[in-house]
Amino acid sequence: MCFTHNFWQLTISGLSDGFLYALIALGYTLVYGVLQLINFAHSEVFMSGGFGGLFVVQALVGSKTPHGISSVMLVLLGVIVGALVGGAVAFLLERVAYRPLRRRNAPKLAFLISAIGASLFLLNIAGKEFGRQAIPMPDLYTNGNVFSVFGAQVQTNYVVVAIAAAVMLVFLDRLVAKTRLGQGIRAVAQDADTASLMGVNIDRVISQTFVIGGLLGGAAGFLFGMVFNVQNNMGFIPGVKAFTAAVLGGIGNIRGAVLGGLVLGVVENLGVSCVESAWRDVIAFGILVLVLLFRPTGLLGERLGRSA
């Protein structure tokens, strides 16, 4: 095989990408679970989190490269701020672009058009206010090799992304499985009409679901910007790939979104080793087409039920 000699290196870097895809994919799959709609403005929620974290760390770091505990605190602060900005934007999206249509029993197409309109609005207003060129994130730590796995070097970036993402993914899984809020989300996802009759506040659950997805997407935006750059259109390609991951794992299935993100990241990286790097996006979108053709329910199955 073309990737035989660097299989582990490609796998490790692919898992790092996959964690980011998984965080973004959860925003798509959570919203789909309660509304059976794809929030195509979620990529701009991701972008907003990147800018939010960027501006905070820019103000605190300046031209220095932090070390030790200060690096940890700055990364943690950037993730928190990115998450909060993403959650706020997602909350506003639900209130402005979705709730009025839902109360008017608008057709599904109206939701789609509203989401696309909100996406384009956020994309262009970010370009107007912050420029359309890529902005590098300040160095929050010295990126180097931390340890090796089967001869493959694991860099600091991979460790930071993996730890941050894993903590958030486990927290979400426990939140949905064990808390009252999680019970409400699962009830609405399974049968919104019956959940309403049982006293569940549908509007509140939907709004909270958007916010949770926004928190994860915004945090992913900061982590992405920390590894790459922050730009007004940074959400488009990762957003479509995250949607691919959600479909691959089973749209509406939380653990499926995580699995789909990790699988997509690894397969994408291994595939690039066999062809030119310019084919990276082609491979990801090819996977989306193949999944829709041969297993539209995804690896772990599709969410079933009646939407809110």
What number of residues does the chain have?
A: 308
Q: What is the pLDDT of residues 165-180, one digit of tens each?
A: 999 989 998 988 888 8
Position 305 pLDDT exceeds 60 = no
**Per-residue pLDDT tens digits for 33-43:** 888 888 889 99
| Beta-carbon-side half-sphere exposure of residue 48 (alpha carbons within 13 Å) | 27
Q: What is the pTM of this model?
A: 0.90
Q: What is the pLDDT of residue 274?
A: 77
**Mean pLDDT of the region 199-224:** 91
- Write phi, then psi, for 270 (nearest 5 degrees): -65, -40
How many CB atoms are located within 10 Å of the residue 221 CB?
Answer: 34
The three-state secondary structure class of 189 is helix
C-alpha distances in Å from residue 162, one per residue of 6, 165, 274, 283: 20, 5, 25, 23
Q: Between these two residues, 103 and 85, which has the higher pLDDT value?
A: 85
pLDDT of residue 148: 84
Angle between helices 156-178 and 180-190 (to 10 degrees): 80
DSSP 129-164: HH-SS-EEPP--S---EEEEETTEEEEHHHHHHHHH
Q: What are phi and psi of 3, to 5 degrees?
A: -105, 15
Q: Where are the alpha helices (DSSP H) in the chain?
A: 7-35, 42-61, 69-93, 99-103, 108-130, 156-178, 180-190, 192-197, 202-227, 236-249, 254-272, 280-294
What pLDDT, on the 0 to 100 scale, is given for residue 55? 93
The per-residue pLDDT for range 110-165, each reduced to its tens digit, is 988 999 999 999 999 999 999 899 999 888 888 888 888 888 888 888 899 999 99
Please check the confidence at residue 4 and state whether its pLDDT lies above 70.
no
| Gap between the Cα atoms of 86 and 41, Å rounded | 11
Give 265's Cβ-side CA count (13 Å radius): 27
Q: Residue 258 pLDDT > 80, yes or no?
A: yes
149, β-bridge pairs: 152
CB 207, CB 94: distance < 8 Å: yes
What's the rounded Cα separation, in Å, for the pair 154 and 72? 18
- Distance in angstroms between the alpha carbons of the first and the last residue of the chain: 48
Mean pLDDT of the chain: 87
Domain boundaries, the chain: 20-232
